[in-house]
């Protein structure tokens, strides 16, 4: 399980204290939440594919199950930012991966 998958697992349990230990005080987050289906670790960032029914409101694409991509940046074991992208290619480019 990746660090980001662990973050989402804790968030689904709705225990803020469990999540807070993984998030830096100055972290920025676009606000989308869903179930991570795939993660790609690239150094200090992870590209996460999220799927869920309510992602359309934050830019997700798809008919029944929307899909959204996030770039999660970690520093010293804590999340410092999560940025949302509609297209996988854009998320990969933001993470510094050609693809």
Are β-strands 23-29 and 78-85 bridged in parallel, bridged antiparallel, or unpaired?
A: parallel
Give pLDDT, residue 61. Answer: 52
Domain 3-94 listed as CATH 3.10.450.50: yes
65-98, pLDDT tens digit by residue? 578 899 999 999 999 999 989 889 999 999 998 7
49 vs 11, which has greater pLDDT? 49
Q: What burial class does residue 57 get, using C-beta atoms within 10 Å of its C-beta: 0-12 exposed, 13-18 middle, 19+ buried?
A: exposed
Distance CA 39, CA 5 (A): 8
* CB distance 47 to 40 below 8 Å: yes
Distance CA 80, CA 82 (A): 7
Residues in Cβ contact with 41 at an 8 Å cutoff, skipping those fewer than 6 apart: 2
Average pLDDT over residues 13-30: 82
27-71, pLDDT tens digit by residue? 887 666 677 889 999 989 999 998 766 565 545 455 555 788 999
Give pLDDT, residue 39. Answer: 92
Closest C-alpha among 83, 93, 49 to residue 68: 49
The domains of the chain are located at 3-94
Give pLDDT, residue 4. Answer: 85
Give pLDDT, residue 6. Answer: 86
Does the pTM surpass 0.85? The reply is: no
Indicate the length of the chain as a whole number.
99
């Amino acid at each position: 399980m990746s660090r980001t998958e662990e973050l989402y697992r804790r968030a689904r349990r709705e225990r803020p204290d469990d999540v807070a230990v993984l998030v830096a005080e100055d972290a920025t987050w676009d606000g989308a939440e869903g179930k991570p289906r795939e993660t790609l670790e690239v150094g200090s960032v992870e590209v996460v594919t999220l799927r869920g029914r309510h992602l359309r409101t934050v830019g997700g694409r798809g008919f029944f199950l929307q899909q959204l991509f996030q770039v999660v940046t970690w520093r010293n074991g804590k999340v410092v930012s999560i940025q949302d992208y509609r297209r996988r290619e854009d998320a990969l480019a933001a993470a510094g991966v050609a693809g």
